[in-house]
Amino acid sequence: MQRWKVVAAAVVAGALVAGCGGSGAAGGGASAGGDATATTIIGLDTMKFNPETVKVKAGTPLKITFRNAGVIAHDLVTEGGSQNAKLVNVGSNKSQDGTFLASTPGEYKILCTQPGHTEAGMVGKIIVE
Ligand SMILES: [Cu+2]
């Protein structure tokens, strides 16, 4: 039992390191108004996503790294894409990766589905061009 826990912790640590390397290499997520294929979105206890808007070209998979910079749990769920990110119950200072893909230009919602958060304004959008 103890041994299993150690192995599991090592796997998680490895995944985190790999995740950091991946997003660093892809970069570009923060470039002003540019198209992104990988981006990091921060969740805040002020019921905001930062950034609130992300752009991507139609048919281009968008890798989203969602990092919770708050104290309470947050989600990042996209809607309407042919592939949606569903990152739920991300704890304080944790991050999760997901992929959004849409082939039809338009605006797609990003929601935090924790109780009351969408209603409190914890929404964003992906503009598919
Ligand atoms: Cu939230």
CATH number of the domain bearing residue 85: 2.60.40.420
> Is this model's pTM higher than 0.95 or not?
no
Q: How far is the CA of 116 from the centre of ligand 1 (A)?
A: 8
The whole-number pLDDT of residue 18 equals: 43
The whole-number pLDDT of residue 109 equals: 98
Residues with CB under 5 Å of ion ligand 1 are 74, 112, 114, 117, 122
Q: How far is the CA of 68 from the centre of ligand 1 (A)?
A: 9
Q: How far is the CA of 3 from the centre of ligand 1 (A)?
A: 35
Report the number of distinct structural domains present in the chain.
1
Tell me the mean pLDDT per 10 residues along the chain, length 129: 48 43 40 67 98 97 98 98 98 98 98 98 98
Q: How far is the CA of 75 from the centre of ligand 1 (A)?
A: 6
* Residue 111: burial class (beta carbons within 10 Å; 0-12, 13-18, 19+): middle
Q: How far is the CA of 12 from the centre of ligand 1 (A)?
A: 24
The whole-number pLDDT of residue 123 equals: 98
Q: How far is the CA of 107 from the centre of ligand 1 (A)?
A: 20
The whole-number pLDDT of residue 35 equals: 56
* Domain around 103: 2-128
